[in-house]
């Protein structure tokens, strides 16, 4: 089941609680506006067009707990490469682009989905 509404994660959670016969593994939601804003911040920082930024994600609801994730973002230009390397400024990434904590297994560098959590995914 795909939920497209704002706040997407909260609406998906309400669906999960209201329809227990639907497995939570089958519930996903989209938050396109927030994803577009995350792409826009990267593009502005690198002085590029938004369409040149790929593989950036956001996690969480449209709120102060949202996490924009540029760890796997790339730039699709002739000078392209990983956004983290092109920005080359961890302070910008940590304090201007990202301002909240996300649950990461720091040894494996993979996101953990905690039981009962519903995450938003964006696909370009």
Catalytic residues: 62
Distance, CA of 67 to CA of 121 (rounded, Å):
12
Distance, CA of 52 to CA of 63 (rounded, Å):
26
Q: Is the peptide bond before 7 cis (omega within 30 degrees of 0)?
A: yes
Other beta carbons within 10 angstroms of residue 81's beta carbon come to: 11
């Amino acid at each position: 089941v795909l939920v497209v509404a704002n706040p997407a994660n909260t609406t998906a959670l309400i669906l999960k609680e209201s329809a227990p016969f639907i497995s939570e593994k089958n519930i996903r939601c989209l938050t396109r506006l927030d994803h577009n804003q995350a792409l826009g911040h990267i593009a502005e920082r690198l002085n590029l067009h938004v369409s040149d930024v790929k593989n950036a994600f956001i996690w969480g609801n449209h709120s102060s707990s949202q996490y924009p994730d540029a760890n796997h973002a790339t730039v699709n230009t002739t000078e392209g490469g990983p956004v983290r390397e092109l920005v080359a400024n961890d302070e910008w990434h940590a304090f201007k682009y990202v301002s909240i904590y996300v649950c990461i297994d720091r040894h494996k560098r993979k996101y953990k989905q905690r039981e009962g959590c519903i995450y938003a995914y964006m696909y370009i």
